Amino acid sequence: MFKFLKEVVGGSGTGIKDLPYNIGEPYPSAWGSWLHHRGTSKDDGSPVSIFSLSGSNAQDGHLAAGRNGVKRLRTVRHPNILSFLHSTEVETFDGGSSKVTIYIVTEPVMPLSDKIKELGLDGTQRDEYYAWGLHQIAKAVSFLNNDCKLVHGNVCLASVVVTQTLDWKLHAFDVLSEFDGSNETSSTQMLQYAWLVATQYKSMELAKSDWAAIKKSPPWAIDSWGMGCLIYELFSGLKLSKTEELRNTASIPKSLLPDYQRLLSSTPSRRLNTSKLIENSEYFQNKLVDTIHFMEILSLKDSVEKDTFFRKLPNLAEQLPREIVLKKLLPLLASALEFGSAAAPALTALLKMGSWLSAEEFRAKVLPTIIKLFASNDRAVRVSLLQHIDQFGESLSAQAVDEQVYPHVATGFSDTSAFLRELTLKSMLILAPKLSQRTLSGSLLKHLSKLQVDEEPAIRTNTTILLGNIASYLNEGTRKRVLINAFTVRALRDTFPPARGAGIMALCATSSNYDITEIATRILPNVVVLTIDPDSDVRSKAFQAVDQFLQMAKQHYEKTNIAETTGGAGMEGSSIPGNASLLGWAMSSLTLKGKPSDHAPVPSASSSTLTPTSSNASSVVDTPSTAPIRVNSTPDFTEHHAPTSPTSTDGWGDLENGIDEEPENDKDGWDDLEPLEETKPTPALTNIQAAQRRPVSQPASHVKAPILRPKSTPKLSKDEDDDLWGSLAAPAPKPPSKPLNLKSTATDDDDPWAAIAAPAPTTRAKPLSAGRGRGAKPAAPKLGAQRISRTSSGT
């Protein structure tokens, strides 16, 4: 029989070497004859607590009581009772004597007396924490007495331990026994081990061994007395040395004093049941107890109660003991969010509590929950995550962002809610630096390409701003292919003024990514026309951009003159200082309900860090008072061929031939400017250079693509239609009576093109309304020129 009991108590181990745990240093205090050690698992290094009890032989009374405690601890399960993990009994021989040791492995805990000293709480926070702890022990005792009909027999400060989450748990079950008042033998086992209880902790009937009175008493009588002893030791800070000290109530809180006195009643039948103590005591009604209790029964609450509670929790958490909030409330909140029982507002409280942790603790305790929440289908949770991403985004690892976070966030780019699309877009400012090049080029840019033609003007504007901010994270090939197309072909031609302003600022912020050819042939021509934009803020930004890019061109000119013999110098790194600063978001006008008008007053797209000289960088633009600028859907690039670009799926590879996404296909006044976007010298510039190299007396018919048509041509030809300077040059002079030569005349001095141009036609050029030739006085240039009715000479 003894061998069988030993095997049951011994568990899976047969010796100390077989114990799958490492035994560490002991704590200074423990219950009875037990030693309480720190320990770790040999498998994964997780912390545990190891209790050991030694005896000189197997028949030692302490060992017998210890075996009873092991058996009871293994079979009794409750949230406020110490959790059992493993046990074993080892017999060792030293010389001629033997030694038997019982080991119990439990969850990691710490003696309550030591934990109180470590926390160092005082005042209201101490009382609130003590109330919560006593509430937990009272529930454990009530469970034993009322539900299990068991008597613990020795409830005191030493029989309480504290977990890592600061929960109080009851242990020391060596004296634990069944109680049945109708059976004379019901207290046999307690009678057997009653000698283990110190005299000062015994109630009067137990001290007298009056078992007849004990049987007639309620099951909670002995343990209610023990609860009184625990309360005294807890508030006095002293270990109870004799029973008479319980009469000293100076340290007992006034709200708890009546219950304390009833627990220690001299008549066993009148002692307060611990279940009544939990329900009726005024002492347990405080913010900490109520908050933790609400969290523990969260699944039973309705959505209104949850929403109200979590909206108050961030402010409430500041009033509670910080250590308890971080070690108890935070894990409860994280678990509730992870398993879906908490509402979206709980995320605000979680992040506020998490901000009180160190960086390492935040990554270990909060980030895993947040990463899992990104997979939630609850739109409110997704919105809350994106709204607070600046609080935890920097803590996310690049691998977690690329593999676990971004795939879920990216679904927001195509969400039907404009508010969620905008939040998703803004979150990329934090997530993009952590994405791989494959994700950036293959996924993110594709989504941004679609957002640049979004129906919401705020989203289009902020997409341009985002591109300017994340340009440095793109590889060189992607930058060459995407940036100019996105900023000039789309942003500068947007109908929304702040979007055009954002395009200008993005070009300035990314100026170091463009070479001088791109600046001269693709950027400046598109920016210059915005100096006459209907919107004053756009005009102001356009002038600043022109100044910046002209300064870069001048720097290139100076470098070229200096290094002319070495083949020229590039413009990389010659941008104006400060253009690498982040662009600020232009607006945030979208809400979950409703959608703003395309022309609602919205702050302009600018950043004070980028444009310190702009006085209206954050002004509000009233777009209804300005003429809208329409994006040309089918620009006339048929005579010009854009340079080939690498195969791309990011959505910008085909933009040099126009924006295919726009619904309108009519020409809208951008025709005169379309050829200026070429990266190669324009045909007109080539013709001028060719004219400079030919003899002056060479016939005009030998010049390819002449600037002025010969007199035998009655109509404008397709070549003249491509003349970029036609609509901008001064009216042609009267034809001379003799062939043009190099001799200076009064007319020639006024015409800078006379020395290189072909002979002027004898007929008058057609008015501007009929074509682009030099004739009538050209109209005042303005953004969005009027449509021109063209005629073709045929092919």
Cα separations (Å) of 677 from 517, 545, 656, 664, 788? Answer: 11, 17, 8, 21, 20
Task: Examine the pLDDT at 439 and tell me if it is beyond 90.
Answer: yes
Query: Could you give phi then psi for residue 349, rounded to 5 degrees?
Result: -65, -40
C-alpha span between 603 and 550 (Å, rounded): 28
pLDDT band for position 605 (50/70/90)?
very low
Q: What is the DSSP secondary structure assignment for residue 789, as one 8-state letter? A: -
pLDDT band for position 584 (50/70/90)?
confident
Q: What angle do CA 374, 380, 382 make, to 5 degrees?
A: 20
Q: What angle do CA 415, 418, 419 make, to 5 degrees?
A: 105
C-alpha span between 535 and 603 (Å, rounded): 13
DSSP string, 318-333: TTS-HHHIIIIIHHHH
What is the mean pLDDT of the segment spanning 620-625? 34
What is the mean pLDDT of the segment spanning 383-398? 93
Lowest-confidence region among 2-16, 188-202, 241-255: 2-16
Q: Which two tokens stand for residue 681?
A: 């010298």
Going by C-alpha positions, the residue among 415, 395, 414 that lies closest to residue 405 is 395
Higher pLDDT residue, 758 or 229?
229
pLDDT band for position 770 (50/70/90)?
very low
Cα separations (Å) of 357 from 157, 321, 369, 450? Answer: 30, 14, 15, 40
pLDDT band for position 212 (50/70/90)?
confident
pLDDT in tens, 274-319: 999 999 889 998 999 999 999 989 988 898 999 999 999 999 999 9
Task: Examine the pLDDT at 231 and tell me if it is beyond 90.
Answer: yes
Higher pLDDT residue, 693 or 407?
407
pLDDT band for position 394 (50/70/90)?
very high
Task: Examine the pLDDT at 14 and tell me if it is beyond 50.
Answer: no
pLDDT in tens, 655-673: 443 434 443 333 333 233 3
Task: Examine the pLDDT at 401 and tell me if it is beyond 90.
Answer: yes
Q: Mean pLDDT, the chain, as a whole number?
A: 76
Distance of CA 486 to the CA centre of its chain: 27
Q: How large a percentage of the chain has pLDDT more than 70?
A: 68
Going by C-alpha positions, the residue among 499, 430, 428 that lies closest to residue 464 is 499
pLDDT band for position 677 (50/70/90)?
very low
Query: Could you give phi then psi for residue 55, rounded to 5 degrees?
Result: -145, 160
The answer to whether residues 718 and 793 touch, using CB atoms and an 8 Å cutoff, is yes
What is the mean pLDDT of the segment spanning 197-217? 86
pLDDT in tens, 69-117: 999 999 999 999 999 999 999 888 776 678 889 999 999 999 999 999 9
C-alpha span between 769 and 766 (Å, rounded): 8
pLDDT at residue 25, rounded to an integer:
93
Burial bucket for residue 53 (CB in 10 Å: 0-12, 13-18, 19+): buried
Lowest-confidence region among 2-6, 572-576, 706-710: 706-710
Task: Examine the pLDDT at 723 and tell me if it is beyond 50.
Answer: no
pLDDT at residue 182, rounded to an integer:
63
C-alpha span between 513 and 476 (Å, rounded): 8
C-alpha span between 627 and 623 (Å, rounded): 8
Higher pLDDT residue, 325 or 737?
325
pLDDT in tens, 106-142: 999 999 999 999 988 888 889 999 999 999 999 999 9
Name residue 675's beta-bridge partners: none
Burial bucket for residue 184 (CB in 10 Å: 0-12, 13-18, 19+): exposed
pLDDT band for position 644 (50/70/90)?
very low
Task: Examine the pLDDT at 634 and tell me if it is beyond 50.
Answer: no
- Name the CA dihedral angle for 321, 324, 326, 332, rounded to a multiple of 10 degrees: -130
Q: What is the three-class DSSP state of 392?
A: helix
C-alpha span between 314 and 666 (Å, rounded): 56
pLDDT at residue 209, rounded to an integer:
81
* Long-range own/partner contacts, residues 358-367 (CB < 8 A, 24 or more apart): 359/395, 362/392, 362/395, 363/395, 365/330, 365/331, 365/334, 366/330, 366/334, 366/392, 367/392, 367/395, 367/396, 367/400
Task: Examine the pLDDT at 189 and tell me if it is beyond 60.
Answer: no
pLDDT band for position 688 (50/70/90)?
low
pLDDT at residue 572, rounded to an integer:
44
pLDDT at residue 748, rounded to an integer:
42
What is the mean pLDDT of the segment spanning 465-469? 94
pLDDT band for position 344 (50/70/90)?
confident
Q: How large a percentage of the chain has pLDDT more than 90?
A: 51
Amino acid at 606: S
